[in-house]
Amino acid sequence: MLIYLRVLKESFNFAVNALKNNKLRTFLSLVGVTIGIFSIIAVLAAVDSLKKEIDGSLSSLDNSTIYVGRFSFGPTEVPRWKWEQFPDVSYDEYQYIKRNVPNVQAVSYTLNVPQETMKYERATVSNVQIGAVTYEYYELEALDIAEGRFFNETESNSGSNVVVVGDEIANVLFGSAQQAVGKQARLYGRKFTIIGVLKKEGSSLFGGSRDTAGYLPVNAVRKVFGSGNRNLVPFIVLKPEKGVETDEFIASLSQKLRMARGLKPDDINNFFVNQLKGFTDLIDNITGQMNIIGLIISGFSLLVGGFGIANIMFVSVKERTNLIGIQKSLGAKNRFILFQFLFEAVILAVIGGLIGLVLVFIVSVIASTFTGDFEFVLSGWNMFLGTAISAVIGLISGILPAISASRLDPVEAIRTGM
């Protein structure tokens, strides 16, 4: 065992000395591997960062949350011309579901409406994201109230002119010194009383965050736009009770809604039941495919780097043929020569990989600085993966040159080098 360790140590020292004595060759060998590892780890880090941001943006809603509407969140077998004719889910159907669908923890009726401008005296906030919802929405989404409260059932049903605003809206309209709760701001040409302010959240991947949102009773918005407006997209949002089998719940929900709409047994559903889990699964599938495509593209760069190392190692073997012959004539074993060149190739590749990782880290820091709240993540697993891939590439690239060097005849090697 000690003999093998000594052989490994001496082979390692020979490899390091060879790299030091051929700095230009070492640098040229490093470039290809560095670019390859940089490409692969940069792709993995970018996809991981994107997935982390998406997961953070969707973390406020439980995966069991269900959206019922005339649109599907994913691919569907229903032709476009047919689902475009589907009726919108109505406020009456929301109330029907509340009364008739069992095992529902919370259900809310929401309207997707255009962004609006909110004013208070001379202060103005543009592009306010309006959340037209019923009072139950507070139970469905993790809304953190910093001041005041969310609107109640009475205010929701009557369509009272009350609003819960995000932190940024409150600061722009009233400043940090004034209390926003109790003030009246103009929205849709009407005065709305601010009854709550949400905690500061920060920007989100999907364009803004709750900091620039305003939540209104859906019936207040319906008074403005009227009922049955096809430009507004309504959804019934549900959350089943914990422990309820999701497929059974969706089947029961679909059956109740079919009955409410008077659909015949052979009629297809003229609505879509979208599960948030399905959306997150779709996101995972997309990021997984992005990883695969990125790895394939980056693999070509790494392949070029591997060929570069192999080429340089063959040149190194040819240049040191005389030295190999002398080493063998002095008693060096084949495995010693083999390890010597193999270590040289692996060390080259690992150094190139480490430089690539350092470059990825620098780029991620710079990118995180310039992109604000979007943070690029270089995980420990990706760093380990980059180092391991580098070592494997070095091993594969150096194995043939190392074998050819170890099999040289000492007499012929000395004669060739003279």
Q: Read off the pLDDT of residues 273-287 as tens digits, 9 standing for 90 and up.
A: 988 665 666 667 777
Backbone angles phi and psi of 129, in degrees to 5: -80, 110
Residues, the chain: 418
Cα first-last separation, the chain: 37
Average pLDDT, the chain: 81
Which residue ranges make up each domain of the chain?
2-57+282-417, 87-270
Read off the pLDDT of residues 176-199 as tens digits, 9 standing for 90 and up: 767 889 899 999 989 999 999 999
Within 8 A by CB and 6+ apart from 334, the residues are: 406, 407
- At 146, phi and psi to the nearest 5? -85, -40
Instruction: Tell me how far the alpha carbon of residue 151 is from its chain's centroid.
Output: 34
Q: Average pLDDT for residues 238-265, to the nearest whole number?
A: 90
What are the CA-CA distances from residue 35 to residues 137, 298, 306, 314, 376 (Å)?
A: 49, 9, 11, 21, 19
pLDDT given for residue 380 in this prediction = 78
Confidence check: pLDDT of 110 > 90: yes
pLDDT of the residue at 339: 78
Write down the pLDDT at residue 175.
Answer: 82
| Six token digits for residue 177 | 């010194």
Q: Which of 32-36, 129-133, 410-414 has the lowest mean pLDDT?
A: 410-414
b/e map of 179-205 (b: 16 or more CB within 10 Å)?
ebbebebebbeeebebbbbbeebebbb
Give 211's DSSP letter.
Answer: G
Q: Between 121 and 149, name the one with better pLDDT.
A: 149
Cβ–Cβ contacts within 10 Å for residue 57, how many? 16
E-strand spans in 28-115? 66-69, 104-112
pLDDT at 118 over 90: yes
The interaxial angle of helices 321-329 and 334-370, nearest 10 deg, is 130
pLDDT at res. 108: 94
* Segment 62-80, tens digit of pLDDT: 567 889 999 888 778 888 8
289-330 per-position pLDDT tens digit = 777 776 777 677 777 778 877 877 787 777 777 777 777 777
C-alpha span between 57 and 375 (Å, rounded): 13
